[in-house]
């Protein structure tokens, strides 16, 4: 999260999925707010899709949020709540049934992509009827689990590769991914467009910038030139440019503000 403190109530919760959802879902999250003044929060999103339920006049609405290329920013005011299902990389495609590039950078009503049924409306009514985030999570798991098909092995392998990229600092180039996956560059590019929604190079850069932000938030931020080199950048200038484009400020400013 890249945000100041809120003026009022801002209750943020996360929960790991149960066994039925775990192959598909990374976590479930909930935000409830009652604010005296508007609050703008920002985060560096991961290369995965989400289903969200958002409070609104006349009843909550359900949306699909595709992979976001830039910062994920939200303006909250007054009183409301949002619940989210954060899918693991590549794992929304079997639910969507079409290339993930079709929703990259978009927020689309759930009913436009997945057949809207009375059960979907029932799920929204049920989570709107309680303020308990854990009860909302349980209702959501019960709604979603029967609708997830067995995950295709090829998609599971791609999911595991993308998640490995998040943790393995040695995976800095497309050739590293080809070696790890056994796919050539063309096949790898095609698989990422179809199942992840962005290119493998984009995912490498996004995860390395996540890591940069984490290190710069620490009590002893590293030297910027050393950090840039460790993340695979040819020089500090290219790292600074990419970081500022995503986060909205230079690495030095980001570190000093914290």
Tokens of 152: 């295709």
Residue 1: pLDDT band (50, 70, 90) is: very low
- Please, which pLDDT band fits residue 106 given cuts at 50, 70 and 90? very high
**At residue 69, does pLDDT exceed 50?**
yes
Structure tokens at 42: 């920002």
pTM recorded for the entire structure:
0.88
User: In degrees rounded to 5, what are phi and psi of residue 159?
Assistant: -55, -45
Choose the weakest-confidence range: 17-31, 97-111, 243-257: 243-257
Q: Could you tell me the CA-to-CA distances from 247 to 73, 78, 244 in Å, in that order?
A: 11, 26, 5
How large a percentage of the chain has pLDDT more than 70?
97
Q: State the CATH architecture for 153-257.
A: Orthogonal Bundle (1.10)
Directed axis angle between helix 153-167 and helix 200-217, to 10°? 40
Is the pLDDT confidence value at 246 over 60? yes
pLDDT score, position 44: 81
Give the CA count within 13 Å in the CB-facing half-sphere of 105: 4
Residue labelled with tokens 């490498």 = 204
Give the range among 115-119, 197-201, 219-223 with minimum mean pLDDT.
115-119
Q: Which is higher by pLDDT, 44 or 14?
A: 14
**Every domain of the chain and the residues it spans:** 8-147, 153-257
Of 2 and 239, the one with more pLDDT: 239
Mean pLDDT of the chain: 90
CATH number attached to the domain at 8-147: 2.60.40
Residue 224 pLDDT? 92
The Cα 49–Cα 42 span in angstroms is: 17
């Amino acid at each position: 999260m890249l945000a100041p403190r809120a003026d009022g109530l801002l209750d943020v919760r996360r929960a790991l999925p149960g066994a039925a959802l775990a192959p598909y879902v990374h976590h479930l999250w909930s935000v409830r707010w009652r604010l005296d003044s508007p609050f703008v929060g920002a985060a560096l999103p991961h290369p995965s899709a989400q289903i969200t339920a958002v409070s609104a006049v006349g009843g909550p609405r359900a949306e699909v949020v595709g992979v976001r290329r830039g910062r994920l920013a939200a303006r909250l005011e007054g009183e409301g709540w949002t619940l989210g299902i954060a899918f693991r990389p590549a794992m929304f495609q079997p639910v969507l049934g079409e290339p993930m590039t079709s929703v990259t950078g978009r927020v689309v009503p759930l009913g436009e992509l997945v057949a809207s049924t009375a059960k979907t409306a029932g799920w929204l009514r049920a989570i709107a009827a309680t303020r308990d985030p854990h009860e909302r999570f349980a209702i959501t798991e019960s709604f979603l689990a029967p609708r997830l098909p067995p995950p295709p092995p090829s998609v599971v392998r791609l999911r595991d590769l993308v998640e490995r990229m998040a943790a393995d600092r040695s995976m800095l180039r497309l050739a590293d991914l080809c070696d790890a996956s056994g796919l050539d560059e063309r096949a790898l590019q095609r698989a990422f467009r179809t199942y992840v929604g962005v290119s493998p190079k984009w995912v490498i850069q996004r995860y390395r910038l996540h890591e940069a932000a984490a290190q710069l938030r620490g009590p002893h931020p590293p030297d910027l030139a050393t950090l840039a080199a460790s993340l695979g950048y040819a020089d500090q200038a290219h790292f600074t440019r990419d970081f500022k484009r995503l986060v909205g400020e230079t690495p030095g400013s980001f570190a000093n503000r914290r």
